[in-house]
Amino acid sequence: MDDLQFFHVVASSETLTAASRELGCSLPVVSKRLSALERRLDVRLVQRGARRLVLTSEGELYAGRVEAILDQVRELEDSVTNPSGGLRGSIVVDTTLGLGRAHIAPLLGEFAATHPDIHVRMHTSALPLRPHRREFDVAIHVGTPPDSSLRMRRLAENRRVPCAAPSYLARRGAPDRIEDLVQHNCIVLRENESDYALWRFGDAARPRHVRVNGSLSSNDGDVVTGWALEGRGVIMRSEWHVRPHLDRGELIRVLPDVPTPAADIYALLEDDRHIPHRVNSLIDYLAAHLPRRLESTVTPVEGI
Protein backbone atom coordinates (compact mmCIF):
# COMPACT_ATOMS: atom_id res chain seq x y z
CA MET A 1 0.00 0.00 0.00
CA ASP A 2 2.87 2.38 0.72
CA ASP A 3 4.22 1.79 -2.79
CA LEU A 4 0.78 2.40 -4.29
CA GLN A 5 0.36 5.66 -2.38
CA PHE A 6 3.89 6.69 -3.35
CA PHE A 7 3.44 6.06 -7.07
CA HIS A 8 0.03 7.73 -7.09
CA VAL A 9 1.70 10.96 -5.92
CA VAL A 10 4.51 10.57 -8.47
CA ALA A 11 2.13 9.91 -11.38
CA SER A 12 -0.03 12.91 -10.42
CA SER A 13 2.95 15.32 -10.29
CA GLU A 14 4.42 17.43 -13.09
CA THR A 15 8.00 16.64 -12.04
CA LEU A 16 9.82 14.46 -9.53
CA THR A 17 10.72 17.66 -7.68
CA ALA A 18 7.02 18.44 -7.31
CA ALA A 19 6.45 14.87 -6.11
CA SER A 20 9.19 15.24 -3.50
CA ARG A 21 7.52 18.39 -2.16
CA GLU A 22 4.16 16.61 -1.97
CA LEU A 23 5.72 13.61 -0.22
CA GLY A 24 7.75 15.77 2.16
CA CYS A 25 11.12 14.21 1.36
CA SER A 26 14.17 15.01 -0.75
CA LEU A 27 14.45 14.49 -4.50
CA PRO A 28 17.19 11.83 -4.13
CA VAL A 29 14.97 9.83 -1.77
CA VAL A 30 12.08 9.94 -4.26
CA SER A 31 14.36 8.95 -7.14
CA LYS A 32 15.81 6.00 -5.20
CA ARG A 33 12.40 4.78 -4.09
CA LEU A 34 11.07 5.01 -7.64
CA SER A 35 14.04 3.01 -8.92
CA ALA A 36 13.46 0.40 -6.21
CA LEU A 37 9.80 0.11 -7.21
CA GLU A 38 10.77 -0.32 -10.88
CA ARG A 39 13.29 -3.04 -9.95
CA ARG A 40 10.65 -4.89 -7.93
CA LEU A 41 8.17 -4.74 -10.83
CA ASP A 42 10.91 -5.27 -13.43
CA VAL A 43 9.49 -2.51 -15.65
CA ARG A 44 10.32 1.13 -16.36
CA LEU A 45 7.47 3.32 -15.07
CA VAL A 46 8.86 6.82 -15.75
CA GLN A 47 10.91 8.10 -18.66
CA ARG A 48 14.16 9.61 -17.45
CA GLY A 49 15.63 12.81 -18.85
CA ALA A 50 12.38 14.62 -19.72
CA ARG A 51 11.90 18.10 -18.26
CA ARG A 52 8.40 17.11 -17.25
CA LEU A 53 7.49 13.79 -15.69
CA VAL A 54 6.41 11.41 -18.46
CA LEU A 55 5.00 7.98 -17.72
CA THR A 56 5.81 4.98 -19.88
CA SER A 57 2.91 2.88 -21.17
CA GLU A 58 3.50 0.52 -18.23
CA GLY A 59 3.55 3.52 -15.89
CA GLU A 60 0.22 4.78 -17.25
CA LEU A 61 -1.34 1.33 -16.78
CA TYR A 62 0.04 1.04 -13.25
CA ALA A 63 -1.07 4.56 -12.31
CA GLY A 64 -4.61 3.89 -13.52
CA ARG A 65 -4.96 0.66 -11.57
CA VAL A 66 -3.33 2.23 -8.50
CA GLU A 67 -5.90 5.03 -8.43
CA ALA A 68 -8.75 2.53 -8.67
CA ILE A 69 -7.34 0.42 -5.83
CA LEU A 70 -6.78 3.44 -3.58
CA ASP A 71 -10.34 4.62 -4.23
CA GLN A 72 -11.71 1.24 -3.21
CA VAL A 73 -9.58 1.21 -0.06
CA ARG A 74 -10.81 4.69 0.89
CA GLU A 75 -14.43 3.66 0.33
CA LEU A 76 -13.90 0.54 2.46
CA GLU A 77 -12.42 2.58 5.29
CA ASP A 78 -15.23 5.13 5.01
CA SER A 79 -17.85 2.39 5.27
CA VAL A 80 -16.20 1.13 8.48
CA THR A 81 -15.52 4.48 10.14
CA ASN A 82 -18.61 6.23 8.83
CA PRO A 83 -21.52 3.75 9.00
CA SER A 84 -24.09 6.53 8.56
CA GLY A 85 -23.12 6.65 4.87
CA GLY A 86 -22.32 10.36 4.59
CA LEU A 87 -20.00 11.39 1.78
CA ARG A 88 -16.36 11.82 2.70
CA GLY A 89 -13.05 12.35 0.91
CA SER A 90 -11.68 14.55 -1.84
CA ILE A 91 -12.85 15.20 -5.41
CA VAL A 92 -10.70 16.86 -8.08
CA VAL A 93 -12.76 18.61 -10.78
CA ASP A 94 -11.26 19.84 -14.04
CA THR A 95 -13.30 22.32 -16.10
CA THR A 96 -13.04 25.00 -18.75
CA LEU A 97 -12.42 28.56 -17.62
CA GLY A 98 -15.68 30.24 -18.49
CA LEU A 99 -18.14 27.49 -17.64
CA GLY A 100 -16.17 26.75 -14.49
CA ARG A 101 -16.25 30.30 -13.21
CA ALA A 102 -19.84 31.06 -14.14
CA HIS A 103 -21.64 27.84 -13.23
CA ILE A 104 -19.54 24.89 -12.07
CA ALA A 105 -17.84 26.74 -9.19
CA PRO A 106 -21.13 27.90 -7.59
CA LEU A 107 -22.57 24.39 -7.88
CA LEU A 108 -19.45 22.86 -6.34
CA GLY A 109 -19.75 25.33 -3.47
CA GLU A 110 -23.35 24.28 -2.87
CA PHE A 111 -22.41 20.59 -3.01
CA ALA A 112 -19.54 21.04 -0.53
CA ALA A 113 -21.81 22.96 1.84
CA THR A 114 -24.29 20.08 1.78
CA HIS A 115 -21.53 17.53 2.44
CA PRO A 116 -19.12 19.07 4.97
CA ASP A 117 -16.79 16.03 4.97
CA ILE A 118 -16.13 16.42 1.22
CA HIS A 119 -13.11 18.42 0.02
CA VAL A 120 -13.51 19.70 -3.55
CA ARG A 121 -10.54 20.97 -5.56
CA MET A 122 -11.44 22.68 -8.84
CA HIS A 123 -8.91 23.26 -11.62
CA THR A 124 -9.78 25.51 -14.57
CA SER A 125 -7.85 25.44 -17.81
CA ALA A 126 -8.16 26.26 -21.50
CA LEU A 127 -5.70 23.45 -22.34
CA PRO A 128 -6.74 20.06 -23.73
CA LEU A 129 -7.50 17.32 -21.23
CA ARG A 130 -4.70 14.90 -20.40
CA PRO A 131 -6.62 11.95 -18.93
CA HIS A 132 -3.56 9.67 -18.83
CA ARG A 133 -2.01 11.99 -16.22
CA ARG A 134 -4.99 11.30 -13.93
CA GLU A 135 -5.22 14.91 -12.85
CA PHE A 136 -8.96 14.79 -12.13
CA ASP A 137 -11.71 12.62 -10.76
CA VAL A 138 -14.25 14.21 -13.09
CA ALA A 139 -13.81 16.72 -15.91
CA ILE A 140 -16.53 19.02 -17.25
CA HIS A 141 -16.22 19.49 -21.00
CA VAL A 142 -18.19 21.42 -23.63
CA GLY A 143 -18.70 19.31 -26.75
CA THR A 144 -17.71 15.73 -27.49
CA PRO A 145 -14.17 15.15 -26.22
CA PRO A 146 -11.48 14.00 -28.66
CA ASP A 147 -10.49 11.09 -26.39
CA SER A 148 -13.01 8.31 -27.03
CA SER A 149 -11.63 6.20 -24.16
CA LEU A 150 -13.37 8.42 -21.61
CA ARG A 151 -16.69 7.56 -20.02
CA MET A 152 -19.23 10.35 -20.64
CA ARG A 153 -22.43 11.50 -19.00
CA ARG A 154 -24.37 14.41 -20.46
CA LEU A 155 -25.11 17.12 -17.92
CA ALA A 156 -26.89 19.69 -20.10
CA GLU A 157 -27.84 20.30 -23.72
CA ASN A 158 -25.98 23.02 -25.60
CA ARG A 159 -24.99 23.99 -29.12
CA ARG A 160 -22.81 26.68 -30.64
CA VAL A 161 -24.63 29.39 -32.60
CA PRO A 162 -23.43 32.21 -34.90
CA CYS A 163 -24.49 35.71 -33.90
CA ALA A 164 -23.59 39.38 -34.29
CA ALA A 165 -24.58 42.78 -32.92
CA PRO A 166 -27.42 44.73 -34.60
CA SER A 167 -24.95 47.52 -35.46
CA TYR A 168 -22.73 45.11 -37.39
CA LEU A 169 -25.66 43.59 -39.29
CA ALA A 170 -27.01 47.04 -40.13
CA ARG A 171 -23.63 47.95 -41.58
CA ARG A 172 -22.72 44.70 -43.37
CA GLY A 173 -26.01 42.88 -43.81
CA ALA A 174 -26.89 39.40 -42.59
CA PRO A 175 -25.54 36.29 -44.36
CA ASP A 176 -28.14 34.21 -46.21
CA ARG A 177 -26.02 31.04 -46.57
CA ILE A 178 -23.12 29.64 -44.60
CA GLU A 179 -20.89 30.34 -47.62
CA ASP A 180 -21.65 34.06 -47.17
CA LEU A 181 -19.67 34.02 -43.92
CA VAL A 182 -16.48 34.04 -46.00
CA GLN A 183 -17.33 37.65 -46.91
CA HIS A 184 -17.86 38.67 -43.28
CA ASN A 185 -15.49 39.67 -40.51
CA CYS A 186 -15.67 36.55 -38.34
CA ILE A 187 -14.18 36.79 -34.87
CA VAL A 188 -12.72 33.42 -33.95
CA LEU A 189 -12.03 31.87 -30.57
CA ARG A 190 -8.78 29.88 -30.43
CA GLU A 191 -9.64 27.08 -28.03
CA ASN A 192 -7.73 23.91 -27.20
CA GLU A 193 -5.95 22.52 -30.26
CA SER A 194 -8.91 22.50 -32.63
CA ASP A 195 -9.15 24.09 -36.07
CA TYR A 196 -10.81 27.18 -34.67
CA ALA A 197 -11.35 28.84 -38.08
CA LEU A 198 -13.51 25.95 -39.30
CA TRP A 199 -17.11 26.66 -38.31
CA ARG A 200 -19.39 23.62 -38.42
CA PHE A 201 -23.08 23.48 -39.31
CA GLY A 202 -25.67 20.79 -40.04
CA ASP A 203 -26.01 17.58 -38.05
CA ALA A 204 -24.38 14.17 -37.90
CA ALA A 205 -26.30 13.01 -40.98
CA ARG A 206 -25.49 16.09 -43.10
CA PRO A 207 -22.45 17.91 -41.73
CA ARG A 208 -21.41 21.17 -43.34
CA HIS A 209 -18.57 23.55 -42.61
CA VAL A 210 -16.99 26.79 -43.77
CA ARG A 211 -13.52 28.19 -43.17
CA VAL A 212 -13.90 31.74 -41.88
CA ASN A 213 -11.47 34.58 -41.41
CA GLY A 214 -11.43 38.04 -39.94
CA SER A 215 -9.33 40.75 -38.38
CA LEU A 216 -9.78 39.63 -34.75
CA SER A 217 -9.17 36.43 -32.82
CA SER A 218 -8.45 35.55 -29.20
CA ASN A 219 -8.16 32.60 -26.85
CA ASP A 220 -10.33 34.47 -24.33
CA GLY A 221 -14.07 33.87 -24.70
CA ASP A 222 -14.96 37.07 -22.87
CA VAL A 223 -12.84 39.15 -25.24
CA VAL A 224 -14.38 37.53 -28.30
CA THR A 225 -17.92 38.17 -27.08
CA GLY A 226 -17.01 41.73 -26.12
CA TRP A 227 -15.82 42.47 -29.64
CA ALA A 228 -19.08 41.10 -31.05
CA LEU A 229 -21.11 43.28 -28.69
CA GLU A 230 -19.15 46.28 -29.97
CA GLY A 231 -20.30 45.44 -33.51
CA ARG A 232 -16.92 44.27 -34.80
CA GLY A 233 -17.98 40.96 -36.37
CA VAL A 234 -19.75 37.60 -36.26
CA ILE A 235 -18.97 35.04 -33.58
CA MET A 236 -19.74 31.34 -33.12
CA ARG A 237 -20.35 30.82 -29.40
CA SER A 238 -22.00 28.38 -27.03
CA GLU A 239 -25.71 29.02 -26.66
CA TRP A 240 -25.48 28.86 -22.87
CA HIS A 241 -23.04 31.75 -23.02
CA VAL A 242 -24.76 34.11 -25.47
CA ARG A 243 -28.41 33.45 -24.53
CA PRO A 244 -28.60 36.49 -22.18
CA HIS A 245 -27.34 38.78 -24.97
CA LEU A 246 -29.75 37.22 -27.48
CA ASP A 247 -32.68 37.62 -25.10
CA ARG A 248 -31.88 41.30 -24.59
CA GLY A 249 -31.33 41.93 -28.31
CA GLU A 250 -27.66 42.86 -27.81
CA LEU A 251 -26.77 40.04 -30.22
CA ILE A 252 -28.86 38.56 -33.03
CA ARG A 253 -28.52 35.00 -34.25
CA VAL A 254 -27.56 34.82 -37.91
CA LEU A 255 -28.55 31.94 -40.20
CA PRO A 256 -31.31 30.97 -37.72
CA ASP A 257 -32.73 28.32 -40.09
CA VAL A 258 -29.40 26.51 -40.45
CA PRO A 259 -28.90 23.87 -37.74
CA THR A 260 -25.66 23.70 -35.82
CA PRO A 261 -24.13 20.56 -34.28
CA ALA A 262 -24.71 19.81 -30.63
CA ALA A 263 -21.99 20.91 -28.21
CA ASP A 264 -23.51 19.43 -25.08
CA ILE A 265 -21.89 19.70 -21.66
CA TYR A 266 -20.48 16.40 -20.39
CA ALA A 267 -18.97 14.95 -17.25
CA LEU A 268 -15.95 12.86 -18.24
CA LEU A 269 -14.47 10.00 -16.25
CA GLU A 270 -11.85 7.34 -16.83
CA ASP A 271 -13.52 4.33 -18.41
CA ASP A 272 -11.30 1.73 -16.75
CA ARG A 273 -11.48 2.83 -13.13
CA HIS A 274 -13.74 2.37 -10.16
CA ILE A 275 -15.86 5.49 -9.66
CA PRO A 276 -16.24 6.35 -5.95
CA HIS A 277 -19.71 7.00 -4.59
CA ARG A 278 -18.78 10.60 -3.74
CA VAL A 279 -17.88 11.29 -7.40
CA ASN A 280 -21.09 9.73 -8.71
CA SER A 281 -23.03 11.79 -6.18
CA LEU A 282 -21.40 14.99 -7.42
CA ILE A 283 -22.20 14.13 -11.05
CA ASP A 284 -25.83 13.44 -10.09
CA TYR A 285 -25.94 16.85 -8.40
CA LEU A 286 -24.53 18.64 -11.45
CA ALA A 287 -26.91 16.82 -13.80
CA ALA A 288 -29.87 17.85 -11.65
CA HIS A 289 -28.93 21.51 -11.16
CA LEU A 290 -26.81 22.66 -14.12
CA PRO A 291 -29.61 22.71 -16.76
CA ARG A 292 -31.89 24.84 -14.55
CA ARG A 293 -29.00 27.16 -13.75
CA LEU A 294 -28.19 27.64 -17.46
CA GLU A 295 -31.84 28.33 -18.26
CA SER A 296 -32.07 31.00 -15.56
CA THR A 297 -28.89 32.84 -16.58
CA VAL A 298 -29.72 36.53 -17.02
CA THR A 299 -26.30 38.16 -16.85
CA PRO A 300 -23.39 38.00 -19.29
CA VAL A 301 -20.89 35.25 -18.49
CA GLU A 302 -17.58 34.27 -19.96
CA GLY A 303 -16.68 30.87 -21.33
CA ILE A 304 -16.56 28.47 -24.20
Q: In the predicted model, is pLDDT for residue 259 greater than 60?
A: yes
pTM as predicted: 0.69
Considering the four listed CATH numbers 3.40.50.2300, 1.10.10.10, 3.30.70.1350, 1.10.260.40, the one that applies to the domain covering 1-84 is 1.10.10.10
pLDDT tops 80 at residue 216: yes
Residue 225: predicted pLDDT: 94
> Average pLDDT of 295-302?
53
Show the DSSP H helices in the chain as ranges. Answer: 2-11, 16-23, 27-41, 57-81, 97-99, 105-114, 166-172, 221-229, 239-247, 277-295
Region class of 283: left (phi > 0), else alpha (psi between -120 and 50), else beta: alpha
Beta strands (DSSP E) in 99-226 are 118-124, 138-142, 150-156, 160-164, 188-189, 198-202, 207-211, 217-218
The model's pLDDT over 51-66, given as tens digits with 9 standing for 90+, comes to 678 888 898 888 878 8
Q: What does DSSP say about strands 235-238 and 188-189: parallel, antiparallel, or unpaired?
A: unpaired
**How far is the C-alpha of 303 from the C-alpha of 126, rounded, in Å?**
10
| CATH superfamily placement of domain 86-158+264-304 | Periplasmic binding protein-like II (3.40.190.10)
Mean pLDDT over residues 189-212, rounded?
81
Name the residue type at position 190: R
Residue 241's contacts (CB-CB under 8 Å, 6 or more residues apart) are 98, 221, 225, 301, 302, 303, 304
pLDDT digits (tens, 9 = 90+) for 117-147: 899 999 887 655 554 455 688 999 888 776 6
Quickly count: other Cβ atoms within 10 Å of residue 133's Cβ.
17
Task: Give the C-alpha separation, 178 to 258, whole Å.
Answer: 8
Helices of type H across 82-140: 97-99, 105-114
Domain boundaries, the chain: 1-84, 86-158+264-304, 160-253
The conformation of residue 249, written as its DSSP 8-state character, comes to T
Establish whether domains 86-158+264-304 and 160-253 are of one fold.
yes
Q: Which amino acid is at 147?
A: D
- Indicate the CATH number for domain 160-253: 3.40.190.290
Give the pLDDT confidence score for residue 195 in this predicted structure.
58
Q: In which band, very low, low, confident or very high, does the pLDDT at 73 lie, cut at 50, 70 and 90?
A: confident
Note the pLDDT of residue 298: 45
